[in-house]
């Protein structure tokens, strides 16, 4: 099988430096180490301070761990952390590339290396790129063997290997005991009990609704949670008859109430060829209208991207942003932006934000019910419903509130996480990162309104990275029923009379071989306290008005005279009174309806009032009532108004901290550069500076200001790095507002100084390339300070130069 099968747990005792490094491994026994290599240097990212960090590289059954040489010994009494600051899980690795003196090679389990690697580059599924440099004193056998071991161990997950990976991470006796004593966050709403939903109804001031447990045993719908919120006037005996009228039994359910009295619902498409009884029609309309006189059905299937479109766009984005030194294919400089647009990822992000803005504006009008409709109600309804609440509800912009929002609209609502993530690599046709598209949309809102969010970009990035680890119960099931089945280890049978029933054999207990899976919200298990401190930022408490029970205040008089039972369809930004919107109103089914519900016909007289709600924000570039500062949009002064994003082309940018964090890092620093040769990125930056100086002289001939006296400019304020060829992108511009004039200082002033001990031996000082990664300065920083891990004591942090608008 090759040298990758060998381990360090041989009869020969390991050297003392290796033993000291093993003792510093957090919560990993020495017997779990498959291979190790000493005198290895890791390339630090810009947020880590840049340069190279010396230490020891380990490969275990669960992760690739890097232990710095001068790192302190972990506290034995401290809680275990799955991954250290310099570690990567094997399940997150997508590609292993070995870099030799004159060639690179993609290493797989069946590969054979004919050269000793000088560098090891790990491409991860979460778009990170980790670079490790083997020292000249590193034994060649260690460099080859650890490369083979990682390439063999990281192989794509399968149903059997996922369980092995979980056991390696959580299956030890100590870890099982530790997890069994964990208590979930009591400040967060988990939405898995009736009291949790009643608490949400009380928080939003929603009257006329109740929590129904008719689906307690998942008999009505296998994909819906046990508890659902329905109108009080609909009894459970009547509610049972409505499940058959919708795909997968996903009836209209209450999600959230706007402070002005409007209600947000979501549902699946109607079933065809269903006979509508008189009582069924009455109950269906009671659920749809929820006590309101006007209902707007928002159809998401026509204009929203499909899961297939999202998967294709994300694949193209990864290929563009990740970069790959093992191939010679690269995108030319002048075609990078056009290639980015051709991925359509930003178009889909803009589409989701636009649709959520339309729904938020409708809800702000008051006195109506907005129902989100999708064929299966398990993908785009999750995205739009969550974005609407983030825009309108300040509670959902806090860390605890956002976690509860994801728990309510994604985890409990039945989003197919397991199929969409495709951990087992057995359902490629269903794979689609819909949740990652939602996180990108939230980041777009956060970067435009940073002062209105308690959560930070570091929190969103941590959630993005946790999404790729098959360790959390939140993502390892397609619905609440599957999670309950796994936690209880129950088999189920179905009969037409009794529905789904659990089969509990006598003396049955959960399988001890299955490790307990924690929720993704257990951040203390994933990150250190220093990292978790940067998940939130202080924000002033919102001055929210008291919730308007049943919509007592009507802010839109044009909608108050709506005919009872008026239903409109919102599709592609326009309203219509479609007769086929509700099957029982289109003439099909029972003829009793036309006698008893004649007053329920839609009136076209209400269309102008609805259209004005959407045109009010669409006709203005900057939403009315919003303020701007150098830190970005401050949001509406009226607490009733939602946070409406700017959707013009330059305003929707690339999530640089996520998509571009490892691309240039691998491309620009991977290959050796001699001392006599200037790096192409440095050369390009010098040429850009020369052009700026000439433009400054040409624009102000009467007054020339030397470059040294000008205010320093952020190194990355106008520059985005190309992933494949180390060039730049122009990021999203801020909304119009007072922005200080800044210019770029000479390249020499932007280069942080790194001691020779951290530099790569025999090559150009790597610190001269770190000018591409700037950090916020004290004068221009946002209210949220990004996390900067403490670098080596022998190194200095690069000079702070301010955040990029595209990061």
Contact 688, 695 (CB under 8 A): no
Q: Assign 3-state DSSP to the chain and report helix, strand, coil percentages, each to 5.
A: 35, 15, 50
Average pLDDT over residues 627-647: 70
For the chain, which residues make up each domain, given as ranges?
A: 3-156, 194-489+519-538+565-629, 668-772
Nearest Cα to Cα of residue 629 among 741, 780, 801, 777 = 780
Contact 293, 367 (CB under 8 A): yes
pLDDT confidence of 671, banded at 50, 70, 90? very low
Domain 3-156: which CATH class? mainly beta
HSE (side-chain half, CA atoms, 13 Å) at 179? 25
Average pLDDT over residues 154-174: 76
| Mean pLDDT taken over the chain | 76
Tens digit of each residue's pLDDT (9 = 90 or more) over 90-122 = 989 989 999 998 888 999 888 888 899 999 999
Element housing 567 (H / E): strand 566-571
Distances (CA, A) of 748 to 711, 771, 799: 15, 9, 12
Sign of CA dihedral 399, 48, 747, 323: negative
Instruction: Label residues 427-438 b or e (16+ Cβ within 10 Å = b).
Output: eeebbbbbbbbb
Measured CA to CA, the distance from residue 255 to residue 228 in angstroms comes to 9
pLDDT of residue 541: 75
Average pLDDT over residues 678-700: 79
Q: Is the pLDDT of residue 678 over 60?
A: no
Tens digit of each residue's pLDDT (9 = 90 or more) over 582-621 = 877 765 444 333 333 434 444 555 666 677 666 665 554 4
Tens digit of each residue's pLDDT (9 = 90 or more) over 349-364 = 999 999 999 999 999 9
State the DSSP string of 468-531.
Answer: T-TT-TTTS-SSHHHHHHHHHT-EEEEETTTEEEEE--TT----TTSPPPPPTT-GGGTS-HHH
Residue 594 tokens, joined: 């036309």
Residue 484 tokens, joined: 């309950």
pLDDT of residue 291: 87
pLDDT of residue 13: 47
Task: Please tell me whether the overall predicted TM-score, pTM, comes out greater than 0.85 for this model.
Answer: no
pLDDT confidence of 773, banded at 50, 70, 90? very low
The interaxial angle of helices 345-364 and 434-448, nearest 10 deg, is: 70
pLDDT of residue 216: 94
Measured CA to CA, the distance from residue 413 to residue 119 in angstroms comes to 45
Instruction: Label residues 237-263 b or e (16+ Cβ within 10 Å = b).
Output: ebbbebbebbbbbbbbbbbbbbbbbbb
Q: Is the pLDDT of residue 178 over 70?
A: yes
Pairing of the two strands 566-571 and 294-299: parallel
Measured CA to CA, the distance from residue 340 to residue 22 in angstroms comes to 43
Contact 231, 263 (CB under 8 A): no
Residue 500 tokens, joined: 């789904």
Tens digit of each residue's pLDDT (9 = 90 or more) over 480-539 = 999 988 776 444 555 555 555 554 444 333 454 566 789 999 999 999 888 999 999 998
């Amino acid at each position: 099988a090759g040298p990758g099968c060998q381990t360090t747990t041989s009869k020969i005792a390991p050297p003392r430096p290796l033993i000291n490094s093993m003792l510093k491994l957090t919560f990993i026994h020495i017997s779990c180490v498959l291979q190790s290599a000493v005198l290895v240097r890791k390339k630090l990212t810009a947020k880590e301070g840049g340069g190279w960090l010396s230490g020891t590289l380990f490969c275990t059954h669960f992760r690739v761990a890097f232990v710095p040489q001068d790192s302190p010994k972990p506290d034995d009494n401290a809680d275990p952390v799955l991954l250290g600051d310099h570690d990567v899980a094997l399940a997150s690795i997508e590609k292993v590339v070995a870099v030799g003196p004159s060639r690179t090679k993609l290493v797989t389990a069946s590969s054979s290396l004919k050269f000793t690697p000088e560098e090891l580059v790990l491409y991860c599924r979460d778009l990170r790129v980790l670079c490790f440099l083997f020292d000249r004193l590193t034994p060649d056998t260690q460099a080859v063997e650890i490369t083979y071991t990682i390439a063999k161990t990281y192989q794509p997950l399968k149903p059997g290997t996922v369980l092995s990976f979980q056991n390696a991470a959580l299956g030890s006796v100590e870890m099982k005991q530790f997890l069994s004593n964990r208590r979930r966050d009591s400040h967060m709403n988990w939405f898995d009990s009736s009291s949790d939903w009643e608490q949400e109804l009380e928080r939003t001031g929603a009257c006329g609704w109740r929590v129904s447990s008719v689906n307690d045993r998942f008999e009505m719908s296998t994909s819906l949670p046990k508890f659902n919120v329905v109108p009080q006037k609909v009894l459970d005996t009547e509610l049972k008859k409505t499940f058959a009228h919708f795909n997968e039994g996903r009836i209209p359910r209450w999600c959230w109430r706007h402070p002005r009295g409007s209600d947000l619902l979501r549902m699946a498409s109607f079933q065809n060829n269903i006979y509508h009884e008189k009582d069924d029609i009455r109950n269906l309309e009671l659920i749809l209208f929820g006590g309101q006189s006007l209902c707007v059905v928002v159809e998401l299937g026509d204009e929203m991207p499909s899961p297939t479109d999202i998967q294709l766009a994300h694949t193209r984005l990864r290929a563009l942003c990740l970069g790959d030194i093992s191939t010679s294919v690269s995108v030319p400089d002048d075609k990078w932006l056009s290639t980015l647009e051709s991925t359509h990822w930003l178009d889909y992000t803009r589409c989701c934000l636009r649709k959520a803005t339309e729904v938020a504006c409708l809800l702000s009008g008051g006195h109506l019910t907005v129902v989100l409709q999708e064929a299966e109600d398990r993908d785009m309804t999750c995205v739009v419903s969550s974005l609407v609440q983030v825009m309108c509800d300040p509670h959902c912009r806090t860390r605890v509130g956002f976690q509860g929002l994801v728990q309510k609209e994604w985890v409990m609502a039945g989003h197919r996480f397991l199929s969409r993530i495709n951990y087992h690599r057995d359902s490629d046709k269903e794979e689609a990162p819909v949740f990652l598209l939602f996180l990108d949309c939230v980041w777009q809102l956060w970067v435009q309104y940073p002062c209105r969010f308690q959560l930070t970009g570091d929190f969103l990035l941590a959630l993005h990275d946790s999404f790729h680890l098959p360790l959390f119960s939140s993502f390892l099931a397609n619905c609440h029923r599957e999670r309950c089945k796994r936690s209880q280890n129950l088999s189920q049978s179905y009969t037409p009379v009794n529905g789904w029933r659990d089969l509990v054999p006598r003396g049955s207990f959960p399988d001890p071989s299955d490790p307990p899976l924690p929720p993704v919200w257990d951040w203390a298990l994933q990150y250190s306290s220093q990292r978790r401190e940067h998940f939130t930022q202080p924000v002033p408490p919102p001055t929210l008005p008291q919730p308007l029970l049943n919509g007592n205040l009507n802010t839109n008089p044009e909608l108050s005279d709506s005919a009872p039972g008026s239903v409109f369809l919102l599709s592609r930004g326009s309203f219509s009174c479609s007769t086929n919107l509700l099957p029982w109103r289109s003439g099909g089914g029972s003829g009793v309806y036309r006698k008893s519900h004649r007053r329920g016909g839609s009136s076209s007289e209400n269309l102008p009032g609805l259209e004005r709600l959407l045109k009010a924000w669409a006709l203005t570039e900057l939403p009315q009532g919003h303020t701007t500062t150098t830190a970005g949009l401050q949001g509406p002064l009226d607490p009733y108004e939602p946070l409406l994003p700017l959707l013009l082309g330059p305003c929707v940018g690339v999530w640089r901290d996520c998509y571009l964090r490892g691309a240039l890092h691998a491309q620009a620093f991977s290959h050796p550069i001699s001392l006599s040769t200037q790096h192409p990125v440095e050369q390009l930056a010098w040429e850009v500076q020369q052009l700026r100086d000439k433009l400054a002289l040409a624009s102000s001939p009467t007054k020339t200001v030397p470059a040294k006296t000008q205010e320093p400019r952020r190194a990355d304020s106008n520059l985005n790095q190309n992933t494949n060829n180390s060039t730049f992108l122009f990021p999203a511009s801020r909304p119009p507002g007072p922005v200080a004039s800044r210019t770029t200082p000479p390249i020499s002033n932007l280069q942080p100084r790194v001691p020779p001990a951290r530099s790569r031996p025999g090559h150009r000082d790597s610190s001269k390339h770190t000018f591409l990664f700037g950090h916020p300065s004290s004068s221009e920083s946002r209210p949220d300070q990004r996390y900067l891990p403490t670098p080596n004591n022998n190194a200095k942090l690069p000079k702070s130069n301010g955040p990029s608008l595209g990061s």
